[in-house]
Structure 1
Amino acid sequence: MIVRQAFFEGSIRDGQETAFRTFVETRLIPMWRRFPDVRDVRVLFARDRDAGAPSFALSLAMIFDDDAALEAALASPVRYESRAVTQELMAMFEGHIHHHVFDMTPLD
């Protein structure tokens, strides 16, 4: 299995915490679930971290069966739609987003 993660490194603007979370839950998560061939979508909102650790306000993990499924998702129209909506979210966020792709060994 393949996991593509997006890390929102930085912080939510003061006073925007509730709006940020609501935006992700109502606008982005439904869109992320529409990616073709996505097996699972996991969204994690930061609660705490070790002293000195970088700040990640949000982590998105999208799980795919294989490279072909990931490539189809990345080429899909919904990906480009979600990128435009994510730009709206960035008004509530100070930082940047970076992506990483991992191999995952199922625990089953």
Structure 2
Amino acid sequence: MIVRQALFEGTIHPGREGAFRAYVAEKLMPLWQAFPGVREVRVLHAVERDAGAMPFAMILSTAYDDREAQAQALESPVRYESREMTKGLLEMFDGHIHHHVFELSQD
């Protein structure tokens, strides 16, 4: 299984935390769940971190059967729709997003 994570490195604007979470739940989650071939979508919202650790406001984790399924999802129209919708989320966020792809061990 392939897991792709989008790490939102940075901070949510003060006082916008609730609006940020609601935007994710109401506008983005339905799109992410509609990616073709996606097996699992998880959103992790930051609660606390070690002293001195980089802040991550959120992590989006999506899982696919294999790299081919992930590639199809990333080329799908709904992925581009979600990228456009994410612009509204970024109005409440200072930082940047980077992506990492992992192979999930089945052992």
Indicate the residue corresponding to 1:78 in structure 2: 78
Indicate the residue corresponding to 2:8 in structure 1: 8
TM-score by length of 2: 0.98
- Percentage of identical aligned residues: 57
Unaligned runs of 5+ in 2: none
TM-score by length of 1: 0.97
Structure 1 segments of 4 or more deviating over 3 A?
none
How large is the RMSD of aligned CA atoms in angstroms?
0.8
* Deviation at residue 106 of structure 1 after TM alignment: 3.2
The separation in 1 between residues aligned to 2:34 and 2:76, in whole angstroms, is 10
Which amino acid is the alignment partner of residue 59 of structure 2? S
The separation in 1 between residues aligned to 2:43 and 2:73, in whole angstroms, is 17
Aligned pairs for 1:89-104 (under 5 A) are 89-104=89-104
Question: 1:61-101 deviations in whole A, cap 9, x for unaligned?
Answer: 00000011000000000000000000111000000000000
Q: 2:91 is paired with a residue of what secondary structure?
A: helix
* Deviation at residue 105 of structure 1 after TM alignment: 1.4
